Structure formats: C-alpha cells, structure tokens
Amino acid sequence: MADFIQALDPSKLVLAGTTLSFVTSAFHAPVYNLPIFLFGMLAQESQDAIQSLRAFTMLLTGSVVYDIIWMSRNSQNWFVKLVTILILIVKLPTALAFATALQQRGSSFPGLGIRGNDLSGPTVWSMPGGFTSNFGGRDGYQNVDEPAPGPKPLSVPPSQPQPPSAPPQAPPQAPGAYQNV
C-alpha cells in the first residue's frame, strides 16, 4: 500500500481534482472544493512551502467530512452527484500522496503527534530556559527525591593572604514610621 501511495503523482491528482471541481462549479455543488484544489496547485509547485503543503493536506482531509455532509443534506441531479462522488474519491489518494510527500521532506503534523517517519509520538521533551544543565539528575534533570545541589564554597588560593574580616555593619535606619525596633 505504501509503495502505491509513493508512486502517485500529487500534481496530477491535484489537477484532476481541480478540473472536476471546476466542472461542478456551474451547478449547485460544494463551493469549497475549487478554492481548496486551486490552493493545492499553488502549494505543490513550491519546494520550500512545507507549511502550505501541510495546510492543504489538512484542508483536503477535513473537506471529505464536509462532502459527505453536503451530499446527505442536498439533493442534486445525477451528473453533479456523480462528479461530487468522483471528487470525494480523488481526495483520499491526494491527501495520502501529499502526506507522504511531506514526510519525505522531513515535515510533520505537529498537532497530531505525527512526525517525519515516526508515528510513535514524541519521545524527547526539553525544558525551556536552559534548565537542563543546572541540575545533576537523569539527562540533566533533577529527580524529585534528590536534594538540590548546594552552592560550591569559594576557594581562595593559599599563597595569597586573606584580608582581615571587618565587623558587620548595621543596616541604615529608614526615615519615618517604618523603622525596625
């Protein structure tokens, strides 16, 4: 099945869907099919437009549900119904071909947890803010049961004499009613 999907030409599938959608646009038919397929024609031409390809694939997949709802709620003549069913049939391999093309380019569907060639979901999560190197737990994280590492003592080289310690000074008194007693 995967070899069949990889052998499909996404540009020809989008062209077929655009042509069928254009034929039905003169009749009482779903109005969203032609703009979606036209967007797909533009998106598939650019090699750098991964976000556009992802958006087209999601729109095309979602419009399958809208086609089924539209056909169940609207009665149309046999010709429009036949072409609408053909469009629905063309949408399925088109969406699969574009999803395969996205995976070959190294892209993913982030909201669904589907990445390049890995359908098992995310396995690595990094904490924001650079907290991974501050603690000594597993892979840089501190475990819940471990005590936090304390500060390292300041070491002075033994060859230098240490300055005499000055007596502690009292903090300055604040003016007004907020004085410490």
42 CB-near residues (< 8 Å, 6+ apart) = 52
- The reply to whether 125 falls in a domain is no
Both structure tokens of 30 = 């779903």
Provide the CB-side half-sphere exposure for 6 (13 A, CA): 6
- The reply to whether 46 falls in a domain is yes
- The reply to whether 127 falls in a domain is no
- The reply to whether 21 falls in a domain is yes
The predicted pLDDT at position 114 comes to 46
Calculate Rg over the CA atoms of the chain.
32
- The reply to whether 53 falls in a domain is yes
Counted domains in the chain:
1
The Cα 120–Cα 112 span in angstroms is: 11
- The reply to whether 161 falls in a domain is no
A 10 A CB-CB count for 145 gives 6
Of 54, 56, 52, 91, nearest in space to 70 by CA: 91
- The reply to whether 59 falls in a domain is yes
Domain that holds residue 105: 2-112
Of 93, 118, 124, nearest in space to 103 by CA: 118
pLDDT by residue for the chain (181 residues), tens only, comes to 667 777 788 889 999 999 999 999 888 888 999 999 999 999 888 777 788 888 999 999 999 999 999 888 887 788 888 888 999 999 999 999 888 888 877 766 555 444 444 444 444 445 455 454 444 444 555 566 667 667 777 766 666 656 666 666 766 665 665 655 6
pTM over 0.75: no
- The reply to whether 100 falls in a domain is yes
The Cα 120–Cα 109 span in angstroms is: 13
20 CB-near residues (< 8 Å, 6+ apart) = 33, 83, 86, 87, 90
